[in-house]
Structures are given as structure tokens and as C-alpha cells.
Structure 1
Amino acid sequence: MQIINGRASLEEASLLIAAFGEDAVVEAATRADRFRDAGDIDLFCRWRQIERAVELLQLQDVVGELH
């Protein structure tokens, strides 16, 4: 189960998708890696969450249970 915390991550993911299309997930991962390498754990975690949000927003099929 994926949990996305907060609207800001979804908004940022949507902006990345608009700017990078299918490569948005790669862009988010690249940004996360850059912050990890710089030792900024807060921004690393933020961009990993955005990466997960991009993956979820780009899914074509329903995943999990529908309520």
C-alpha cells in the first residue's frame, strides 16, 4: 500500500508529469538522489514521496480495493 502524505506532493507530482511526461518519475528520482548525496535527508524523503506520487498518478489500471 502506498501512502502519499499531503496535497503538496500530489501537486508537485502533477507539475513534474506536465513538464516531463513519462520521464517524470526519473526526474523525481534524480532529484531525490541529488539531495541524498548532499546529505539533506528531509528533501531526499520529500522527493522520494513525490516519486511515489508520480508512479501512482501515471498508473493506467486500478490497484487495490475500491470502496
Structure 2
Amino acid sequence: MPYLSNRKSYEDAAELMSLFGDNAGYEAAARADRSRDLGNHIRFCHWRQIERLIVLLTHEGAMGTIH
């Protein structure tokens, strides 16, 4: 499960999903790649986290343990 350090992570994921629809994960990956190419490892990790969060948010069923 992705770790969310703050609400900004969710807001970024929701914004990409709103703007790019089914391609939101690809956009997050592209942003991560650009950050890596610029040497910004913090933004790289942020966008990779967003990419994983988008996958989780678009999954139809419950994931993980249900209590």
C-alpha cells in the first residue's frame, strides 16, 4: 500500500485523474521521469508514489485486509 505523507499526494492524484482520465498513471510516470532527469529525487519519489496511488484509486474492489 502506498504511504501518503500528506493530503497533497491525494490532491495531485485526483487532479491527474481529472485532467488525464485513464492516462493519469502515465502522466505521473512521465513527471517522475522528468524529475529524475533533473536530479530531483524528492519529486521523483513523489510522482512515483502518485502513480501507485492512482492505480489503487482506480481499482474496483477493496484491496488489502478487510476487518
User: TM-score normalized by structure 2?
Assistant: 0.89
Give the Cα–Cα distance (whole angstroms) in 2 for the partners of residues 56 and 8 of structure 1: 16
Cα deviation, residue 61, structure 1: 1.5
Q: In angstroms, what is the RMSD of aligned CA positions?
A: 1.1
Structure 2: state its 5+ residue gaps.
Answer: none
Deviation per CA, 1:31-67: give whole Å up to 9, x if none: 0001101111111111111111111111111111113
Which ranges of 4 or more aligned residues in structure 1 deviate by more than 2 Å? 1-5
**TM-score normalised to structure 1 length:** 0.89
Partners of 1:9 and 1:44 lie apart in 2 by 13
- Structure 1 SS opposite 2:56: helix
Question: How far apart are 1:7 and its partner, in Å?
Answer: 1.1
Consecutive unaligned residues in structure 1, runs of 5 or more: none
Matches within 5 A, 1:1-67: 1-67=1-67
Identity %: 46
Look up the SS of the partner of 1:23 in the other structure: helix
Partners of 1:21 and 1:56 lie apart in 2 by: 14
